[in-house]
Amino acid sequence: MSAMLQDPASVQALDRIGGMPLRLDSAHFGAYVQSERGRWKATIQRSGATVD
């Protein structure tokens, strides 16, 4: 993943589809995922979305 994020064409491709490249080590990535889970949990529950 780190190599891909060093390629300007790959970063531009992510940008075109609304991607947000984050250059995080594993500890920071884990913290980011946890914060996003908390951020979106209520919204997902209200939507009734499920994993099939």
Does residue 22 contact residue 32 with C-beta atoms inside 8 Å?
yes
Q: What is the pLDDT of residue 5?
A: 83
Q: What is the pLDDT of residues 1-52, one digit of tens each?
A: 778 888 999 989 999 999 888 888 899 999 999 999 999 999 999 999 998 8
Q: CA angle, 23 as apex, 8 and 1 as ends, to 5°? A: 65
Question: What radius of gyration do the chain's Cα atoms show?
Answer: 15
List the chain domain ranges: 4-47
Query: How many whole angstroms separate alpha carbon 41 and alpha carbon 44?
Result: 5
Q: What is the pLDDT of residue 47?
A: 96
Q: What is the pLDDT of residue 43?
A: 94
* Dihedral sign, Cα of residue 24, residue 26, residue 28, residue 33: positive
Q: What is the pLDDT of residue 46?
A: 95
Q: Tell me, yes or no, if the pTM score tops 0.75.
A: no
